[in-house]
Structure 1
Amino acid sequence: MSSAERAEVVPARVFGEVAEVYDANRPGYADELVAEVLDYARLGGSSAVEFGAGTGKASTLFAARGVPLVCVEPDARMAEVLRRNTEGYGQVRVEVGGFEEWQPGGRSFGLLYAATAWHWFDPDRRWELVHERLRPGGAVALFWNPHGVLDEELFRRLGEIDRRHGVAGSPHGQLAHWYDGAPGTGSAADAENWPAAEAGRDGRFTDLRSHRFRRQVHYDTERYLGFLSSISTYRVLAPEAREAVMAETARLLDARGGGIDLLHVSDLFLARRR
Structure 2
Amino acid sequence: MSQLFGEVAGAYHEARPGYPAEIVAAIRAYHGGTPDRLVEVGAGTGLATGTLLGLGAPTTCVEPDHRMARALGERFPQVEVVTAAFESADPQRQGDLPDGWFHDDIAGSGLFTDVRAPLFCRELPLDTAAYLRLVGTFSPQLRRPPALRERVLTAVGAAIDGFGGTVVLDLRTTLVLARRPA
Partner secondary structure for residue 151 of structure 2: helix
The structure 2 residue matched to 1:84, chosen from 55, 74, 79, is 74
The structure 2 residue matched to 1:65, chosen from 34, 42, 55, is 55
Q: How has the CA–CA distance of structure 1 residues 123 and 33 changed in structure 2, closer, same or farther, with 3 Å as cutoff?
A: farther
**C-alpha deviation, 1:265, in angstroms:** 1.3
- 1:210 corresponds in structure 2 to 117
The structure 2 residue matched to 1:11, chosen from 2, 20, 27, is 2
Divergent runs of 4+, >6 A = none
Equivalent AA in structure 1 for residue 138 of structure 2: I
Unaligned runs of 5+ in 2: none
Q: TM-score, normalised by structure 2?
A: 0.83
Partner secondary structure for residue 195 of structure 1: helix
- 2:83 corresponds in structure 1 to 96
Query: Quick one: distance in 2 between partners of 1:11 and 1:21?
Result: 16
- 1:189 corresponds in structure 2 to 97
Query: Quick one: distance in 1 between partners of 2:41 and 2:175?
Result: 15
Partner secondary structure for residue 47 of structure 2: coil
More strand by share: 1
Q: TM-score, normalised by structure 1?
A: 0.58
Query: Quick one: distance in 2 between partners of 1:240 and 1:21?
Result: 19
Over the matched positions of the two proteins, sequence identity in percent amounts to 36
Whether the 8 Å contact between 2:34 and 2:57 is mirrored in structure 1 is no
- 2:46 corresponds in structure 1 to 56
**C-alpha deviation, 1:29, in angstroms:** 1.4
Whether the 8 Å contact between 1:60 and 1:85 is mirrored in structure 2 is no
Write the deviation string for residues 95-138 of structure 1: whole angstroms up to 9, x where unpaired: 323324xxxxxxxxxxxxxxxxxxxx5249xxxxxxxxxxxxxx
- Work out whether 1:224 is the aligned partner of 2:131: yes
The structure 2 residue matched to 1:235, chosen from 142, 158, 173, is 142
Unaligned runs of 5+ in 1: 1-9, 101-120, 125-168, 170-187
Query: Quick one: distance in 2 between partners of 1:95 and 1:271?
Result: 19
- 2:177 corresponds in structure 1 to 270
Query: Quick one: distance in 1 between partners of 2:73 and 2:110?
Result: 36
Partner secondary structure for residue 85 of structure 2: coil
- 1:104 corresponds in structure 2 to none
Query: Quick one: distance in 2 between partners of 1:33 and 1:123?
Result: 29
Query: Quick one: distance in 1 between partners of 2:150 and 2:176?
Result: 36
Whether the 8 Å contact between 1:63 and 1:86 is mirrored in structure 2 is no
